[in-house]
Structure 1
């Protein structure tokens, strides 16, 4: 592992899940969405993304800041775990599927099978349409892009934190099979989402992200 965190998979009685507890905590004004922070993606290359070490550390820092925020400013925290198909690195109940950061008892865990974390899940129940949604995780050009886009369409104010999301290098099959580096792909997604209305913040903004800005 690149970030020193134990890849302990969540247990159903350690987190608030759809099947574990029906009652949600008080309606939040802000939600932190941690997408795909799983062992397969945050392992050393080539299994994990090229920036696994840096982005893993930054995700951990954002999560720590959210958890340390004053009670009246603390966001609802939702971890979204991607479930791949048979043979995928994130096939359910394999080592690569496990969450890297163990959820706390008042945090939520949802499983997804599609790019958007809203598709086929109960995420809309956890994210009010008037809440600010702060997004971190993986992968930039799949789950991050699709989830941010759908959240904008719902009417949420969406914040994406640079340096706390990442992806793999992209093979350009229609351009002589050239490769676009992962960091360039991430920047392209940031530009696309910013044009659509997503607010981009940097890791340097972290001390103020979970305050009443």
Structure 2
């Protein structure tokens, strides 16, 4: 195991393309502010500090996070002690060194994008590895979903977030609120 950290803050796809500009996700401002608050708490208030890992999605041509474009850039500049991992799949463990960086007994705090893709897949994979996973309401989001079946319509991002939270909670993820931030990085072992 590459680190002795018991807590890990995993920032999934917290990139310019989806959190700013014309292609931003509907709750971009709130999620961006909450992720910034969580990251600052982890960096400057948590004792001991968690391992902080930024995961950057390598989006395809024309996507908001297209590789090498301004939208691909991370919102938060990583500090020298923080890891950056690039991924091309929903599951951040697939095809990356993430599994080598995070001990199987670590508690992973997950924030970022998108609830119904990378958040769901990465949380599920972490549970499968044996990690405890904490997901913070208001720190993850997605796009509204255009429905093509059952008469069409649009499912709001907020509804999708809640559905994913319920699904992940049933699988074993602990879903917390922003008010829980003071104790989220407490090392209780």
Normalising by the smaller structure, the TM-score range is over 0.9
Whether 2:53 is the aligned partner of 1:78: answer yes
Q: Which residue of 2 aligns with 1:9?
A: none
Give 3-state SS (helix, strand or coil) of 1:53's partner: helix
Aligned to 1:64: 40
**Structure 1, unaligned stretches of length 5 or more?**
1-23
Q: Does 1:55 align with 2:31?
A: yes
Deviations 1:163-196 (A, max 9, x none): 0000000111112221000001000000000000
2:185 matches 1:206: no
Cα distance in 1 for residues equivalent to 2:15 and 2:151: 32
Structure with the higher fraction of residues in helix conformation: 2
Normalised to the residue count of structure 2, the TM-score between the two structures is 0.96
Counterpart for residue 32 of structure 1: 9
Q: Give the TM-score, by structure 1 length.
A: 0.85
Corresponding residue SS for 1:187: helix
RMSD over equivalenced CA pairs, Å: 1.4
Count of aligned residue pairs for this structure pair: 188
- 2:186 & 2:154 partners in 1: Cα distance? 40
Check whether the contact 1:78–1:109 (CA below 8 A) recurs between aligned residues.
yes
CA positional deviation for 1:69? 3.0
- Give the aligned partner of residue 146 of structure 1: 121
Structure 2 unpaired stretches of 5+: none
Taking the TM superposition and a 5 Å limit, the aligned residue runs for 1:171-210 are: 171-210=146-185
